Amino acid sequence: MGHWSKDIGAEPCSEEHWPRERIHAVLSQSYWFGTLSAALQRSIVNRGEIRHFRARRPVYKVGDRVDGMYAALAGDFRSYVTGDDGDRMLMRLVGPGAWFGAFQLIESVPARNFEIRTASPCTAMLLPRAGYDAILAEDPKNYLEFVKLTSFHLRTMIRIMVETRSTAERRTARAVLRIARMHGRALGAGVEITIKLNQSDLASIVGVSRQYMNELLSRWNADGLLVWNGKGRSVLHVEKIRDLLTPLDDWLSEPAEGWA
């Protein structure tokens, strides 16, 4: 695993300018957009609309009308679902270059069934429903390309679901490596996580208690796998954390869509 970000996830200001060339540069780093024809890439970017969000705000909530699909350009987006007890649960982190909200658009589902919120000031590009429809009208074969995006997301989710049968320590190792890939900056001592991530956040993603995560991170600190700072920026010693993985984890080095 490599390809640590070069500050593309830095917190943007609300007035930050996003010319089409800059949008294209960020999206081209993701697997799906990078495989599209140059004509389809231009068509998507030309029809996209920039959206700025303040920190701790919803991009959309459960039940909201499906207005299009989004591409994260900068900042820290997070996906939530509502548990049986009514509490909001953090499920996934979404980083620059990743698309979200495509399932409901492509399947013509009328309302959102999960929530996306911002943990920092964020910028996204919205491909509105009208723009999506126009792209399909240009060439019906374009529909297959959008289906490929949802297929890629499905394969990723299945792999992550399979991880639930692994040990909690190995699941945590995979999670932090994916997060570092999305929101990591290479340092001499390792890879710095450039977003704020506390123990509760990581415990929710991995599916363990906060107490367990506290004990695990304390042990990893002592063993030199990382320097954890939930209130600041943690540093991962990536090669040591990789030692916790298995040959089945080679897929983590494949092209990604900015999910963890």
Q: How many CA atoms lie within 13 A of 184 on its CB side?
A: 24
pLDDT recorded at residue 251: 59
Architecture of domain 167-253: Orthogonal Bundle (1.10)
- Residues with Cβ within 8 Å of 243's Cβ and at least 6 positions away in sequence, in order, are none
Q: Distance (Å, rounded) from C-alpha 13 to C-alpha 10?
A: 10
- Render 39-98 in DSSP notation, one character per residue: HHHHHHHHH-EEEEE-TT-EEE-TT-B--EEEEEEES-EEEEEE-TTS-EEEEEEE-TT-
Q: How many CA atoms lie within 13 A of 75 on its CB side?
A: 28
Q: Please, are residues 31 and 255 in contact by the beta-carbon 8 Å criterion? A: yes
Listed in order, the ranges of the chain carrying CATH 2.60.120.10 are: 20-162
**Is the Cα torsion angle 36, 40, 46, 51 positive or negative in sign?**
negative
Q: What is the pLDDT of residues 217-253, one digit of tens each?
A: 999 999 999 999 877 789 999 999 999 988 777 656 6
pLDDT recorded at residue 102: 92
Architecture of domain 20-162: Sandwich (2.60)
- For residue 111, what are the CA distances in angstroms to 88, 99, 138? 18, 17, 26
pLDDT at 7 > cutoff 70: no
Taking alpha carbons only, the member of 42, 4, 2 closest to residue 183 is: 4
pLDDT at 88 > cutoff 90: no
Q: What is the pLDDT of residues 162-199, one digit of tens each?
A: 777 889 999 999 999 989 988 999 988 799 999 999 99
Q: Residue 22, SS3? A: helix
pLDDT recorded at residue 156: 79
pLDDT at 4 > cutoff 70: no
Query: What does pLDDT average to over the chain?
Result: 88
Token pair for 34? 């990078």
pLDDT recorded at residue 233: 85
pLDDT at 15 > cutoff 60: no
Q: Distance (Å, rounded) from C-alpha 246 to C-alpha 260?
A: 18
Q: How many Cβ atoms sit within 10 Å of the Cβ of residue 28?
A: 13
Taking alpha carbons only, the member of 213, 182, 208 closest to residue 198 is: 213
Query: Which ranges in 97-247 belong to alpha helices (H)?
Result: 102-106, 129-138, 142-162, 168-183, 199-206, 210-223, 238-242
Name the pTM for this structure.
0.87
Mean local confidence (pLDDT), 25-52: 95
Listed in order, the ranges of the chain carrying CATH 1.10.10.10 are: 167-253
pLDDT recorded at residue 11: 45
